[in-house]
C-alpha cells in the first residue's frame, strides 16, 4: 500500500503521543515502560490499521504495536486514533528490517503479518516479509513459544511462506488453511484486515498459517 505523499504526515507523527519516536531507546524496557507488563503483539505492515485497531479494542489485556514503513499510510491510522484513542495501542513508523534494533530477544509475544507485499519476482524473494531473512529477525525478538500469524490471498506467496517456515529451525508450523473463511476452527474470532475485506469480496479465498517459536 503506497498512498500519495501527504506532507502533513511526518509532522503529525513527530508530535503525536500515539507514535513512538525513539523506539531503540526502549529496547529491553517495553514491558516495563510501555505495556505495563502486558504481552506485546505487533502487526508488521499494518497499512491504515483496521485490523490492529479492532484487536486492541477487543483485547485490553494485550498491548499492540502497529508497525508501518510509510508515514502517509500510518497517518491514516493515526487520524482514526486521534478521533477515538485506544490505550493499549501505539504506532511505529519504521521498516521491519529494524526490529532487532528495537526489541531485545524474547520481548515480543506475537507477530501478525497480513497481506504482505508479494514481491512476485524471484530476484525479490528476500524482500518478502515471510522470507528466511525476515524470519531470522522475528526469531530474535519473539519469546520461546510465541507466535507468528500470517494471512494472504496470494497463493504463491502463501506456498513460499509455508516452505520458509518449514525450513526454519526456530519455528514450527502449527496449522494452516487455504480457505480461512470456510475453516470452522481457524476462522473463530477472525478479525478482517482492510485487504482481506477487499479481496474476499472479490471471491478470493484467504490463506492463513500459524507458526510457533520452538
Ligand X SMILES: C[S@@+](CC[C@H](N)C(=O)[O-])C[C@H]1O[C@@H](n2cnc3c(N)ncnc32)[C@H](O)[C@@H]1O
Binding site for ligand X (CB under 6 A): 1, 44-47, 67-70, 73, 95-97, 114-117, 129, 193-196
Choose, from 22, 117, 153, 156, the residue flagged as catalytic.
Answer: 117
Strands of the chain (E only): list them. Answer: 40-44, 63-67, 89-92, 108-114, 142-152, 171-177, 207-213
* CA angle (52, 56, 61) in 5-degree steps: 140
Q: Which is nearer to ligand X, 126 or 166 (CB)?
A: 126
Q: DSSP code of 182?
A: G
Q: Which is nearer to ligand X, 36 or 113 (CB)?
A: 113
CB of 70 to ligand X, least distance (A): 5
Q: What is the largest CA-CA distance in the chain?
A: 45
CB of 55 to ligand X, least distance (A): 12
In the residue annotation, 153 being an active-site residue is answered as no
CB of 124 to ligand X, least distance (A): 12
Partnered with residue 108 across adjacent β-strands are: 142
Q: Which is nearer to ligand X, 88 or 116 (CB)?
A: 116
Neighbouring C-beta atoms of residue 10, cutoff 10 Å: 15
What are the catalytic residues? 117
Amino acid at each position: 500500500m503506497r498512498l500519495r505523499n501527504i506532507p502533513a504526515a511526518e509532522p503529525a507523527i513527530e508530535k503525536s503521543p500515539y507514535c513512538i519516536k525513539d523506539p531503540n531507546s526502549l529496547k529491553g524496557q517495553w514491558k516495563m515502560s510501555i505495556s505495563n507488563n502486558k504481552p506485546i503483539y505487533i502487526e508488521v505492515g499494518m497499512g491504515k490499521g483496521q485490523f490492529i485497531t479492532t484487536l486492541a479494542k477487543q483485547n485490553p489485556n494485550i498491548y499492540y504495536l502497529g508497525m508501518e514503513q510509510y508515514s502517509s499510510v500510518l497517518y491514516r491510522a493515526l487520524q482514526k486514533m486521534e478521533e477515538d484513542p485506544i490505550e493499549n495501542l501505539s504506532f511505529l513508523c519504521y521498516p521491519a528490517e529494524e526490529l532487532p534494533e528495537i526489541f531485545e530477544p524474547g520481548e515480543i509475544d506475537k507477530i501478525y503479518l497480513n497481506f504482505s507485499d508479494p514481491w512476485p519476482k524471484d530476484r525479490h524473494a528476500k524482500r518478502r516479509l515471510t522470507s528466511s531473512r525476515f524470519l531470522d529477525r522475528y526469531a530474535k525478538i519473539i519469546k520461546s513459544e510465541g507466535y507468528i500469524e500470517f494471512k494472504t490471498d496470494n497463493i504463491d506467496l502463501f506456498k513460499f511462506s509455508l516452505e520458509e517456515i518449514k525450513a526454519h529451525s526456530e519455528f514450527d508450523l502449527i496449522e494452516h488453511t487455504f480457505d480461512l473463511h470456510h475453516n470452522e476452527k481457524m476462522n473463530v474470532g477472525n478479525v478482517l484486515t482492510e485487504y482481506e475485506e477487499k479481496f474476499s469480496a472479490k471471491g478470493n479465498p484467504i490463506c492463513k498459517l500459524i507458526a510457533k517459536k520452538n
